[in-house]
Amino acid sequence: MKHADIPTRADDLFCYGLYTASHAVNRAYAPHLKALGLTYPQYITLTLLWEEDGRQVNTLAQKLGMETSTLTPLVKRLEAMGHVTRSKSALDGRAVEVRLTDAGKALSQQAPAVTACMIGHSGLSVAELEELQALLFKLRDGLQPR
């Protein structure tokens, strides 16, 4: 890439679009999730557990691309709210397994309505959303430290 081609205006930097869009989505979800008593990261974490219950803290952190130092307090808050339980793994005494309570499982019933609402308000077609998703995954995986 030639020097003249390097974008310097904020609008031209892919980091700017990602930064502002990410916060916009977070803000758009917030009112729907507030009705469920959840934050956006808590909701995404629960989504992973709805897919497969009993995951370890470490597994959740890897799926989210985050540190356990971020997830531990988040999961503790989910536990305090009665959505999950935390228990030591029988096979590995270091690992903590996170399991949904009945209340936590019940929350999953509310998810499709929220998702449908967000997709509807996104202003993007399903094809565009799939294209966006593909580009985001490619970007994320490309930046992954080798």
Partner DNA sequence: TCCATTTATATCGCCCACGATTCATTTCTT
Partner DNA sequence: AAGAAATGAATCGTGGGCGATATAAATGGA
| Of 6-14, 23-31, 46-54, 118-126: span binding DNA (CB under 7 A) | 23-31
> Among a copy of itself, DNA, none, what does residue 48 contact (CB within 5–8 Å per kind)?
a copy of itself
Residue 70 sits in the site that holds DNA (CB under 7 A): yes
How far is the CA of 103 from the CAs of 2, 87, 89, 110, in angstroms? 56, 17, 22, 12
- Residue 19 contacts residue 10 (beta carbons within 8 Å): no
Residue 63 sits in the site that holds DNA (CB under 7 A): no
Give how many residues touch DNA by CB under 7 A: 34
List residues binding a copy of itself (CB under 8 A): 1, 3, 5-10, 12-25, 27-29, 40-41, 44, 47-48, 50-51, 63-66, 108, 111-112, 115-116, 118-124, 126, 128-129, 131-133, 135-144
Strand partners, 96: 88
Residue 50 sits in the site that holds DNA (CB under 7 A): no
Distance CA(108)–CA(105), nearest Å, equals: 6
Tokens linked to 28:
């758009």
Shorter beta-carbon distance to a copy of itself: residue 3 or 94 = 3
How far is the CA of 50 from the CAs of 5, 7, 10, 56, in angstroms? 45, 41, 38, 14
Distance CA(92)–CA(95), nearest Å, equals: 6
Provide the binding-site residues for DNA, judged by CB under 7 A: 19, 23, 26-27, 30, 39-42, 56-59, 61, 65-70, 72-77, 86, 89, 92-97
